[in-house]
Amino acid sequence: MTTPTYRTDFPQHCRTHPIDGMTLVFHRPSGATHFLDSPLPQMLALLAAKPMDAARLTTSLCATLGLPEDAEARAVVEARLTDLAGIGLVEVG
Protein backbone atom coordinates (compact mmCIF):
# COMPACT_ATOMS: atom_id res chain seq x y z
CA MET A 1 0.00 0.00 0.00
CA THR A 2 1.68 3.23 -1.07
CA THR A 3 1.96 5.81 1.70
CA PRO A 4 -1.15 8.03 1.62
CA THR A 5 -1.05 11.33 -0.22
CA TYR A 6 -2.48 14.35 1.59
CA ARG A 7 -4.15 17.29 -0.14
CA THR A 8 -5.98 20.45 0.82
CA ASP A 9 -7.90 23.30 -0.80
CA PHE A 10 -6.95 25.62 2.09
CA PRO A 11 -7.48 28.56 2.36
CA GLN A 12 -10.56 28.19 0.15
CA HIS A 13 -13.86 27.99 2.11
CA CYS A 14 -12.01 29.61 5.04
CA ARG A 15 -11.62 32.99 6.67
CA THR A 16 -8.09 33.39 8.04
CA HIS A 17 -6.62 36.07 10.25
CA PRO A 18 -3.19 36.35 11.90
CA ILE A 19 -3.38 36.78 15.67
CA ASP A 20 -0.57 36.60 18.26
CA GLY A 21 1.70 34.73 15.86
CA MET A 22 -0.96 32.14 15.09
CA THR A 23 -3.51 31.79 12.29
CA LEU A 24 -7.15 32.08 13.30
CA VAL A 25 -9.35 30.10 10.89
CA PHE A 26 -13.12 30.06 10.38
CA HIS A 27 -13.86 26.92 8.28
CA ARG A 28 -17.21 27.38 6.48
CA PRO A 29 -18.05 23.73 5.61
CA SER A 30 -17.78 22.65 9.25
CA GLY A 31 -18.68 25.99 10.82
CA ALA A 32 -15.75 25.47 13.21
CA THR A 33 -13.21 28.02 14.41
CA HIS A 34 -9.59 26.92 14.94
CA PHE A 35 -6.31 28.45 16.09
CA LEU A 36 -3.47 27.02 14.01
CA ASP A 37 -0.01 27.25 15.51
CA SER A 38 3.13 26.65 13.44
CA PRO A 39 4.06 24.52 11.58
CA LEU A 40 0.45 23.97 10.44
CA PRO A 41 0.03 27.07 8.27
CA GLN A 42 3.32 26.29 6.52
CA MET A 43 2.27 22.65 6.01
CA LEU A 44 -1.08 23.74 4.57
CA ALA A 45 0.60 26.16 2.19
CA LEU A 46 2.94 23.44 0.89
CA LEU A 47 0.09 20.92 0.46
CA ALA A 48 -2.11 23.51 -1.23
CA ALA A 49 0.67 23.99 -3.78
CA LYS A 50 1.18 20.23 -4.35
CA PRO A 51 -0.44 17.14 -2.76
CA MET A 52 2.29 15.05 -1.09
CA ASP A 53 2.82 12.14 1.24
CA ALA A 54 4.22 12.62 4.74
CA ALA A 55 7.83 11.92 3.72
CA ARG A 56 7.94 14.50 0.95
CA LEU A 57 6.07 17.02 3.06
CA THR A 58 8.62 16.61 5.85
CA THR A 59 11.46 17.25 3.41
CA SER A 60 9.97 20.42 1.93
CA LEU A 61 8.81 21.67 5.34
CA CYS A 62 12.27 21.28 6.86
CA ALA A 63 13.72 23.02 3.82
CA THR A 64 11.26 25.90 4.23
CA LEU A 65 12.00 26.21 7.96
CA GLY A 66 15.73 25.69 7.48
CA LEU A 67 15.75 22.73 9.81
CA PRO A 68 17.62 19.42 9.62
CA GLU A 69 15.31 16.65 8.47
CA ASP A 70 15.26 13.82 11.01
CA ALA A 71 12.96 11.19 12.48
CA GLU A 72 11.59 13.66 15.03
CA ALA A 73 10.58 16.16 12.34
CA ARG A 74 8.88 13.31 10.46
CA ALA A 75 6.99 12.31 13.64
CA VAL A 76 5.79 15.88 14.20
CA VAL A 77 4.60 16.15 10.57
CA GLU A 78 2.74 12.83 10.83
CA ALA A 79 1.06 13.90 14.09
CA ARG A 80 0.04 17.29 12.70
CA LEU A 81 -1.32 15.70 9.51
CA THR A 82 -3.58 13.58 11.72
CA ASP A 83 -4.73 16.74 13.55
CA LEU A 84 -5.46 18.49 10.23
CA ALA A 85 -7.36 15.47 8.88
CA GLY A 86 -9.30 15.34 12.15
CA ILE A 87 -10.63 18.87 11.69
CA GLY A 88 -11.17 18.29 7.99
CA LEU A 89 -8.68 20.87 6.66
CA VAL A 90 -6.68 18.09 5.01
CA GLU A 91 -7.95 15.03 3.13
CA VAL A 92 -6.21 11.68 2.73
CA GLY A 93 -5.90 10.03 -0.66
CB-nearer residue toward another protein: 4 or 49: 4
Give the shortest CB-53-to-another protein separation in angstroms: 14
> What residues line the site for another protein (CB under 8 A)?
15, 17, 19-22, 24, 26, 28-40, 65-67, 73, 76, 80, 83-88, 91-93
Q: Dihedrals φ, ψ of 80, to 5°?
A: -70, -30
Give the shortest CB-33-to-another protein separation in angstroms: 4
Contacting residues for 77 by C-beta, under 8 A, at least 6 apart: 39, 43, 54, 57, 58, 61
CB-nearer residue toward another protein: 26 or 51: 26
* 39: helix, strand or coil: coil
